[in-house]
Chains A and B, each alone.
Chain A
């Protein structure tokens, strides 16, 4: 098997056993990227030279008999809304096309402390607004399972890179499903941590009260390892949970006997794809066979949660994106005066979806409408959160499809923003409540992967990982690889 097909934990053993060097491994991944990137287009920026230098440093450590950790020397990619010092960070927007941050995000510092190898910055929907990566200001990304199909979004580049073997692991960000949905569409494991579990310092903000950074990996074990590195309190982030993160690899047992699963009826929507439905129910049966029990629960405010999200997220975004004005960084279009410059810069360099959401958000916050929209949405958010609290009084985890349908064709939904929004019905309420959730592969619809979502209590990542691992190890979906051949 080619090197790029192994998981991080498998490669770690090879590095430690000196079966392969970090440089060889990185080179193999870079070679793979060269071979397939023209059909996947997962990358915005590749950092080949620094990656090889980082790999070399790890090899030196290994040769000196020094200890290395699981992610040391393992090439990964970061979603391009995570600030990397000295490396262009664009959020897939023309307005930041040349922006080079003078600082590293906290997660980047943490990864560096583990001697990981970063091979590039991944494509995404512009400013994380979208569910297909078609909203990228540069180019769309293609799903390695079927290049005519979207990889999902907004962390589409991250997921596609890992699924294509162009990276061993990735970081994405999730505001309404942007880690979990692309993970589902690309047959990968994607985890959105509890809000506040991972520092947002250095994550370019979309919706501050909803955003979280999380791993997109080939299997649950890798996910646990990445979580170990990136989680934890950060004094630079006032919304960071002030408690040390546990060792998530300790949850890689297979024991889910007695686990109480809740099936929220509102997530099993009419219009759910038949293959998805079948796969989800099969997965539930499998979990029962492994010792879990399930019951139906109701989360009556689910539908309202979606509407609340489409007020809260754009409202916060409209404020977060006001700084993109051509004054002190980023793109500038000259104008006759400063107001003209603001308007021309923002209108030219923001994409249509971004502008739409900014306008929606501005409207929702404007005088006369604040109570009716924003305040109302914040109240509905309380009700959505209460639904989760009540459900978790009865069960340990909730199981739902990650998305109602598998990945759709590139261009199929791009003209209808509303149709795009409806893909997020299973993922959005999780962000509103701030609880953690993971998506893992649970089957196929033709050649397209289907994702199973497991939702946990606040700081319930350990239970999620334990449940996901038990399920994963009872099937071989995580061993299946996208049949992406070389493209010459």
Chain B
């Protein structure tokens, strides 16, 4: 049986406001346990919430960037359930009137653009963190840190339009880029500011009806999302092919063992008993304000990608990679603004720069080579002062010492040799010293020329202009 995979994703993103959604505690990450708390976010008897206006603004921006309709009337509701990371044993969220609905984002898969529907975007408060020795299942007790309770979240729910784990990963990457571009979230999965739960089901290809779905939690990176979905798709397939039925349940991704584990206990699914939050009054959105926010949205990833392709002739692939994060796109733009050639800049950003920041485990914002310095290096290559190969060495030096390209080239005497007579002199010497290779080449072995080129480069410590070496060498042979 040919099964079609159907995936929907629920993304939670922490909004980067300074204070929490309902109180003035700081949202800063990494504070000592229970130091960013107050009576309100602790849910002590008698406290009341007051909405942070920036949260609403950020949520509307996210809705707009995701092409949603902003609802003119929106409200908060209580979602009631018991869990120790939830001080009030209810979460203040939005149920039937979320801030934004009916949007979409586009992803590139195999060179094709696919539109993924977004059902809704709503605001809610985050819960605290639980710490246990070992795993939650084996631990005798747990420790609770409420710093995170009340940190503002938006929950973004996609339509079940994704058809593969790869598409899911692409969706997440695009979502992350969009949220970063509009500067509402840091989207750092490793810090928990971006989280994802996946819903997956299979159905016979061609069928309209959705199969029974399972939810996967504990997917803490984009890779885990992909692997978790791959595993679950396989599991569903096995069950169905054996004639079994998929049990609708929530499962947890077990990274260590590469599998999903059922979280379902004997108790049934939660009855959240939603009720309108009586301590908060409704939000009536001013259309003029929405238009202002819409007008002031920055250039979004797709538009930026299109611009890079149009203005600089970058390929779709290159433009996609560069605009995948706002920081990288900014870095690229700045480099080009310093008069570096766009295509060269693209190669360097995607190449050496990315290689180095990934190896160092840092973000591009922390790159020790600034766009200005990179632009300078690129211009040296384009002017012919140094070869591309030498430039890589220079970059290495720039990275470690912080010096600029010109200084390093001068100090290390790396200026490219482009003087024909000088090169010719060296060529003649190499030809004289390597008669066998010369003979081989003349006998038809093309590879022998590579050896000769290598010898010439060795003599010049790599400084000889490669193109000139090649053309002049062939002339002399």
Contacts and interface: CB of A to CB of B under 8 A. Distances in A.
**So, do A and B actually touch in the complex, CB under 8 Å?**
yes
Interface of A: 81-83, 89, 91, 96, 99, 101-103, 105, 200-205, 207-209, 235-239, 315-316, 318-319, 322-323, 325, 327-329, 338-339, 342, 362, 365-367, 370, 374
Contact of B45 (A96, A235, A237, A362): A96
Interface string B415-439: 0000000000000000000000000
A204 B43 CA distance: 11
A318 B90 CA distance: 11
Contact of A237 (B43, B48, B275): B48
Nearest to A237: B48
Interface string B77-109: 010101010011110000000000000000000
A370 B45 contact: no
Nearest to A315: B275
Given A328-B87, A328-B144, A370 B273 contact: yes
Interface of B: 39, 42-51, 78, 80, 82, 84, 87-90, 142, 144, 146, 271, 273-275, 278-281
Contacts of A327: 84, 87, 144
22 contacts: A83-B46, A99-B45, A105-B46, A201-B46, A201-B48, A205-B45, A208-B279, A236-B48, A237-B48, A237-B50, A238-B51, A315-B275, A319-B275, A323-B87, A328-B87, A328-B146, A338-B142, A342-B82, A365-B273, A366-B273, A370-B274, A374-B275
A203 B80 CA distance: 21
A102 to B, nearest CB: 6
A274 to B, nearest CB: 40
Contacts of A103: 39, 44
Contact of A101 (B44, B51, B280): B44
A91 B146 CA distance: 25
Given A322-B90, A370-B273, A328 B42 contact: yes
Nearest to B128: A328
10 A-B pairs with the lowest CB-CB distances in the bound complex, closest first: A322-B89, A208-B278, A365-B273, A204-B45, A209-B278, A83-B46, A202-B46, A323-B88, A204-B46, A367-B271
A367 B95 CA distance: 14
Contacts of B142: 338
Nearest to B39: A103
A316 B45 contact: no
Given A101-B44, A318-B80, 19 more contacts: A89-B46, A96-B45, A99-B45, A105-B46, A202-B46, A202-B47, A204-B45, A204-B46, A237-B48, A238-B50, A315-B275, A319-B273, A319-B275, A322-B80, A327-B87, A327-B144, A370-B273, A370-B275, A374-B275
Contacts of B146: 328
Contact of B44 (A200, A235, A329): A329
Nearest to B80: A319
A338 B84 contact: yes
Given A89-B45, A238-B51, A319-B90, A325 B275 contact: no
A238 B89 CA distance: 21
A481 B184 CA distance: 64
A323 B281 contact: no
A205 B83 CA distance: 20
Which of B39, B47, B280 has the most A CB atoms < 10 Å from its CB? B47
Nearest to B49: A238
A129 to B, nearest CB: 15
Contact of B82 (A315, A322, A367, A374): A322
Nearest to A202: B46
B238 to A, nearest CB: 33
Contacts of B43: 323, 328
Nearest to A324: B45
A316 B48 contact: no
Contacts of A328: 42-43, 87, 144, 146
A63 B280 CA distance: 46
Nearest to A103: B39
A315 to B, nearest CB: 6
Highest count of chain A CB atoms <10 Å: which of B39, B274, B278: B278
Given A103-B39, A327-B144, A366-B273, A91 B281 contact: no
B90 A239 contact: no
A103 B44 CA distance: 10
A325 B82 contact: yes
A196 to B, nearest CB: 10
